[in-house]
Every structure is written in C-alpha cells, then in structure tokens.
Amino acid sequence: MLAAQEHNAVGHLLDAYGMALTCTREAEADPAIRNRDRVVGACRSVADSLEPRVGRLILRVRDPAPTGLQVRIAGAVLPPALWGVAYPVLPGVVRMEATAPDHASVRNEISVVAGEVSETTLDLARLPPEPLNRPPMTVTGVPAVAVPPTVRESASGRALRTLGWIGIGTAVVGVGVGGLALGLREESAAAFNRECPAGPTGSLSAVCQSRIDTGSTLSSVMISGFIVGGAATVAAVVLLVAAPPSRGVEAPARAWVCGPNSCPLVRVVQAI
C-alpha cells in the first residue's frame, strides 16, 4: 500500500494502480496478516480512487495469429496472455505496433478515454513472395556480374561507435540494477506490511526497523541505477549519432558486353 501511495504521489498512475490491486489481492489471500481488514480496506480504497483515472484497452488478434507475432503497446511488449483481455493503460493516444515474419507491420494510434474500455482488432496482411534476385543488366541487355564495393571506416568513427555501444551496455546494466532494486524494495514493503503492526516509529521491533532501513537503501540503489541508465543512454545516442558514416571506395566490376560479332569481357569501375 505504501508503494502504491508513493507512486501515486509522484504521478506514476499505472504503477500505483497495479500495486494497489496487488496489495488488495495479497491481503485478501493471506488470512494470517495482521490488521487484515484494515489493510484490505486501505488497498481497495487506493485502487478505487485510481480506477476512474485509468483507461482500459482490449486488443483482439484475428485468428489464426501469425507465427512469431509481437505486439507492442506504448513501446512495451504485450504478452499473448493479455490479448483479448481488458488491461489498464494511460488515457490519451496509445501507440500500437505489431510485427510478424513474412507479414506487413502494423502501426496504429488508439484513443483511450479515462474510465472507459476501448477495443481494437489486429489483422496483419501476409507479404507477397519476394522476386528472385537478378544481376544488374548492361546496356546491351546481357547480365553483368559485379564485385561489391569494399567499405572502409575512419578510426574516429569506429572509436565513437565503440564508445556508443559501451554506453548502451552501461545503460542496460543501470536500468537492470534499478529494476532489481525496485522489485526487492516492493518485497520488503510487503513483508513490512505483513509482519509489522501500525504504530509510532519508536515502538517498532528491530526486525521492522531493519526492513525500513532496507527499503530506504534499496530506494537509493534504484534511483541511482535509473539515473546511470538514463545518462548512459543519452551519451550512447549522442556518440552513435556523432560517428561519421562509412565511406565506400572504388571497386572493379566485370561485365560481358556483347556487340554484333563478339562478347569481350570489359572491366568497369564503380565509384561509390
């Protein structure tokens, strides 16, 4: 419940609503929890106060669903278990993207109203088979066999790209640490609500006080992880964008150019 109230206070509506629902379910399922009725009532009160501010979206996938179909809602992957189920989203315009092998990608924007349920049906069209690759033709209509140009990259561009990928790796680690700390903090908060009675801070047992200290430490680790991940992401994007593009060099190509009486082999230079 404390976590739900914290997220609501900082404007994390969906996180607060989800945690309030989880708090209600866990308290109802645990008959041994202290002050169970009060905890259930408090969690349900938070969830009921947030529900009118949250929209719900039902995504239906037309059968048969393409193999390898992946759906993203607002940038997050929607697991197949939630297809056809009303799940909470932030009200407003919600971006939906769907991809599947051998099918055309779909990108839609869905308007969701707070307190209401919106529905959309996903139907991906299969792509036509790709035509057989054909070699380039010479002016006389005879296929030419060309050697692909070699590509070289400057040392500065290679260094910037390397640093950019290192930044991406650092961002992944930072976000991962922050997410892990968030999960551990929620577990500590749930244990505190379950094991520690309400009362003045000075009257808490050593175990309960330890859980409070653990939650504070995990909050600091979570914030630091997210800050490092965000900063590394920005730095990586800047480095990758600033890296100069690769430059091509001239590469020879050979083609059979047929005249009226002969087909000599001609060396053609392609400038890239």
Nearest CA to 70 among 35, 27, 103?
Answer: 103
How far apart are the C-alpha atoms of 47 and 64, rounded to whole Å? 36
pLDDT at 267 over 50: no
pLDDT at 236 over 50: yes
Q: What is the DSSP string of 118-182?
A: EEEEE-PPBPPPPPPP-PPB-TTS-BEE-PPPPEE--HHHHHHHHHHHHHHHHHHHHHHHHHHHH
How far apart are the C-alpha atoms of 70 and 57, rounded to whole Å? 17
Task: Tell me the whole-structure pTM to 2 decimals.
Answer: 0.41
Question: 49: Cβ–Cβ under 8 A, 6 or more apart, which residues?
Answer: none
pLDDT at 175 over 60: yes
Percent of the chain with pLDDT over 70: 72
**Average pLDDT of the segment spanning 29-47:** 81
pLDDT-based confidence at 84, cuts 50/70/90?
Answer: very high
pLDDT at 68 over 90: yes
Q: What is the CA radius of gyration of the chain?
A: 29
What local confidence, expressed as pLDDT, does residue 105 receive?
93
82-96, 126-140, 237-251: which is most confident: 82-96
Domain 55-126 classified CATH 2.60.40.1120? yes
User: What is the CA angle 72-75-79, rounded to 5?
Assistant: 35
pLDDT-based confidence at 53, cuts 50/70/90?
Answer: confident
Q: Looking at this protein, which amino acid is placed at residue 133?
A: N
Bond from prior residue into 64 cis (ω within 30 degrees of 0): yes
Which position has the higher pLDDT, 174 or 4? 174
What local confidence, expressed as pLDDT, does residue 94 receive?
92
**Average pLDDT of the segment spanning 189-211:** 70
Looking at every residue in the chain, the average pLDDT score rounds to: 76
